Amino acid sequence: MQAGDQAGALAIVRTNAGRDLMRRIRATAAEFDRAEVELQAMRADRAAFRRSILAAVIAVALALAAALAWLVIRTDRRHARDLQVANDTLRLEIAHRERAEGQLRQAQKMEVLGQLTGGIAHDFNNMLAIIVGNLDMLVRRLSAEDTRARAMAENALSGARRAAELTKRLLAFSRLQPLQPQPTDVNRCVCDMSEMLRRSLGEGIAVETVLGGGLWPALVDRPQLESAILNLAVNARDAMEGQGHLTIETANAMLDQAYADAHAEVTSGQYVAVSITDTGIGMNQEVLAKAFDPFFTTKSVGQGTGLGLSQVHGFAKQSNGHVKLYSEPGVGTTVKLYLPRSLSAPEAIQVTSARLSPDFAGQKVLVVEDEAGVRSFAQSALRELGCQAIGVDGAEMARRTLAEHPDVTVVLTDVVMPGETGRALVDSIQDTHPDLIVLYMTGYTRNAIVHNGMLDPGVRLLSKPFTVSDLGRELQAALVERRRTHVSP
């Protein structure tokens, strides 16, 4: 070190300038350190801020993603529910349509079968009218001593009557039998039949009646109702093989619109229900589907015609009612017959004498019938009763005969004839012959004197085949009614 430099240094030391310089240097260094620390802290704060911002953004993104996922899941679930509801609705609609189509096919089948059997019954009744009528007259004329011939004739007549009963059932199934519905006490009807049913069904069948309280009157043809109940009871007996329990129950019933929509040809409203329940072998679904078909039977050959249930079905439909089958194999069967409610009270049953009127001797009857055999029998039967009888084969000849024989008091006319019907004939002569008594005879009513299955008011009908006694009773009733009408003020 040079002498000058040394002296300068000693001067600096003595004046503490170096110490001040060092303090300044250290202060400056400390300031730099603080700035560095603050800068590091600021950098750390900024990093933390950026991290918090990033975390917030991520959290918001996750929240949005979760919300979106929830919305997607909710929408998918709603769509799935909507699809399930739509699928269920579609299945119900398909099932309803299939059921409706099945009922329509069944109704169409029954209608075709009804038209076929109705036409057959008409032809058979015309033939049976000749057979039954002439056999009846033969039996009446055979002496009591001629036992062999009488037995043969009675046997033939019995067979012909069974054939007539068969055609009657065909007409019932076809809804072509003429009905005369009246307000009817169904409880009284069941009570009146109960003892007869017990005797008919045999000791092995316990018959129980459960009568509904406050039962409404039913608008129904009572004899046909009794026939339907008897048919159902006999079917039940056969299903129980002669041993079991038969219950006949009556009740008021209301068929709502939902039920009507689910069953073809059913109208919603108030009905009187007659239920016949047995403890027999029951029916499976295949048998149930065919139970109302004519000639369908599960019985052995010769033990049934297969027309019992079909007759009941036809009667119910023609009466504007409904019939429903419930059955389970091994448990039994219930047949529910729904009859329309009548708003009128039943009339008291009038008992009339069965004796033939002596006035027959003064009656002159015009028989109008295109079938020669039936016309011949009707004339013979009227003469057997003591009447005078003239026969013609059609409406035009009938009008000419009435003009030539003004003393004719009764017209006995067929309903269905070639050309002009019996009803048209009667309408054409009423103005010129207002006092004529008119009796119709038919084996097939169509719509000439029957509308909606019901006889027109004031019409008296003799169903083919008939006997001399049947004709006499109907003629007597017409004469009694005419006298009562003329006597009344």
Instruction: Give the domain CATH number at 455.
Output: 3.40.50.2300
Determine contact, residues 292/313, Cβ cutoff 8 Å.
yes
- The predicted structure's pLDDT at residue 355: 47
CA 166 remoteness from chain centre: 24
Q: Is the pLDDT of residue 395 over 60?
A: yes
Name the residue with tokens 């609609």. 93
pLDDT at 352: 46
User: Quick check: is 250 in a domain?
Assistant: yes
pLDDT tens string 7-60:
666 666 566 666 776 777 777 777 777 777 777 777 777 777 778 888 888 888
Higher pLDDT, 315 or 268: 268
Predicted confidence (pLDDT) at residue 411 exceeds the cutoff of 90: yes
Provide the CATH number for the domain around residue 273. 3.30.565.10
pLDDT tens-digit profile of 105-140? 666 666 666 666 666 666 778 888 888 888 888 888
What's the mean pLDDT when you consider all of the chain?
A: 80
Residue 443: DSSP 8-state: S
Q: Are residues 298 and 371 in the same domain?
A: no
In sequence order, what E strands does 269-331 have?
269-278, 322-328
- For residue 353, what pLDDT is reported? 44
3-state secondary structure of 206: strand
Name the nearest CA neighbour of 394 among 368, 433, 374, 366. Answer: 368
Judge if 191 and 291 occupy the same domain.
yes
The residues that bridge with 336 in the sheet, in sequence order, are 275, 324
So what's the pLDDT on residue 485? Answer: 65
Is residue 247 a contact partner of residue 285, using CB atoms and an 8 Å limit? no
Domain-located, residue 320: yes
Rounded CA Rg of the chain? 49
**What domain range is 464 assigned to?**
358-487
Residue 404 and residue 286 share a domain: no
User: Pick from 280, 309, 340: which residue ends a domain?
Assistant: 340
Yes or no: say if 308 and 227 are a contact pair by the CB < 8 Å rule.
no
Q: Do 319 and 416 sit in the same domain of this protein?
A: no
pLDDT at 453: 47
- pLDDT at residue 412 tops 90: yes
* More confident of the two residues 347 and 452: 347
Q: Which of the residue ranges 91-95, 116-120, 138-142, 285-289 has the most confident prediction, judged by mean pLDDT?
A: 138-142
**Burial class for 46, CB neighbours closer than 10 Å (0-12, 13-18, 19+):** exposed
Is residue 139 in a domain? Answer: no
Q: How confident is the model at residue 186 (pLDDT cuts 50, 70, 90)?
A: very high
Is 131 domain-assigned?
Answer: no
Report, as an integer, the average pLDDT of 452-462: 64
Phi, psi of 223 (to 5 degrees): -55, -40
Whether 326 and 248 share a structural domain: yes
**Is 96 a member of any domain?**
no
Q: Are residues 362 and 480 in the same domain?
A: yes
Check whether residue 205 and residue 319 sit in a common domain.
Answer: yes
| Shared domain check, 210 and 336 | yes
Return the H-helix or E-strand segment holding 306. none
Q: What is the mean pLDDT of residues 221-227?
A: 85
Q: Is residue 274 part of a domain?
A: yes
Tell me which residue has tokens 């109705």: 118
Model pLDDT for residues 146-163, shown as the tens digit of each residue: 888 888 888 888 888 877
CA separation (Å) from 321 to 76, 264, 316, 337?
A: 50, 12, 5, 8
Per the structure, the count of domains in the chain is 3
In a domain, 352, yes or no: no
Task: Give yes or no: residues 326 and 379 share one domain.
Answer: no
Residues 392 and 296 occupy one common structural domain: no
For the segment 290-294, the average pLDDT, to the nearest whole number, is: 73
373-410 CB burial, b ≥16 within 10 A, e <16: ebbbbbbbbbebbebbbbbbbbbeebbebbeeeeebbb
